[in-house]
Amino acid sequence: MSTEAEAAGRQAEERRCIVTGEAGPKEGLIRFVIGPQASPVPDLGERLPGRGIWVSARREAVETAIRKGLFSRAARMKVEASEALADEVERLLAKRAMEALGLARKAGCLVLGFEKVMAAIGKGEVALLIEARDGSEDGARKLAGALKARDQGAAKRATPILSPLWTAEMGLALGRANVVHAALTQGSMKNKVLADLARLESYGRKERPAERSPG
């Protein structure tokens, strides 16, 4: 593929945020469509029919779009955007990230527990280190240090470390209690898991699930 064709391909995969006006890869934005009730509906899978309205995958961007009526402006019609939309986006992003982890576990691409993750780092098998947001800081620091040392020794790019999920969410996704440390090994699941977890971490978490109000 020529340089011109590559640039055109990258541009085709970019979308413009209605809040910042900046264009970027779709992975860093959230697609919305206007539903039957004239309200914005998050379309994380990018499959719903209708014209897409794109917002940067950050809570403050979604909140700004709601507050300033930017969904109405982008849709060129009156749109009712609830203040609860930003929380709904977070919930859906977390659900998608949990599902991605579950699929990786079923595919045999996930290592769980401090000792097993440390061993996988030593073998050079870790493509992504995943730490619970409320997990042990000491354990996370030791694993991050081992990973950094491995990357430097192998003269590789830094392996990503993400902490988008709470311990309870990781446990629920993986069918076991108290999951704090996990690692994704090299495999076909890497791009999906990295994309879904990175987008949730970029978006930001408001509060722990256990602290949310009922209903």
Per-residue pLDDT tens digits for 20-71: 999 999 999 999 999 999 999 999 999 999 999 999 999 999 999 999 999 9
Average pLDDT, the chain: 89
| Same domain? 66 vs 94 | no
The reported pLDDT for the residue numbered 206 is 80
Q: Is residue 201 a contact partner of residue 163, using CB atoms and an 8 Å limit?
A: yes
| Same domain? 98 vs 198 | yes
| Same domain? 64 vs 157 | no
Check residue 50 and report its DSSP letter.
S
Q: Does residue 23 sit in helix, strand or coil?
A: strand
Residue with tokens 């800081």: 137
| Same domain? 66 vs 96 | no
Whole-angstrom distance, CA of residue 101 vs CA of residue 186: 14
Alpha-carbon radius of gyration of the chain = 19
| Same domain? 54 vs 117 | no
Tokens coding 3? 């340089």
Per-residue pLDDT tens digits for 110-126: 999 999 999 999 999 99
For residues 143-159, average pLDDT:
82
Of 52, 83, 114, which residue is a domain's last?
A: 83
Angle at 142 between CA 140 and CA 144, to 5 degrees: 65
Residue 114 domain boundaries: 90-211
Confidence band (pLDDT; 50, 70, 90) for 75?
Answer: very high
- pTM beyond 0.75: the answer is yes
Per-residue pLDDT tens digits for 22-34: 999 999 999 999 9
Q: Is residue 79 a contact partner of residue 40, using CB atoms and an 8 Å limit?
A: yes
CATH of the domain at 151: 3.30.1330.30
Domain total of the chain = 2
Among candidate residues 17, 147, 150, the one with its CA nearest the CA of residue 74: 17
CATH of the domain at 45: 3.30.1230.10
Tokens coding 131? 């730490």
For the chain, how far is it from start to end, CA to CA, in angstroms?
52
Reply yes or no on whether the pLDDT at 171 is more than 60.
yes
Confidence band (pLDDT; 50, 70, 90) for 188?
Answer: confident
Give the HSE-up count for residue 63: Cα atoms under 13 Å, Cβ half-sphere: 8
Of 83, 110, 127, which residue is a domain's last?
A: 83
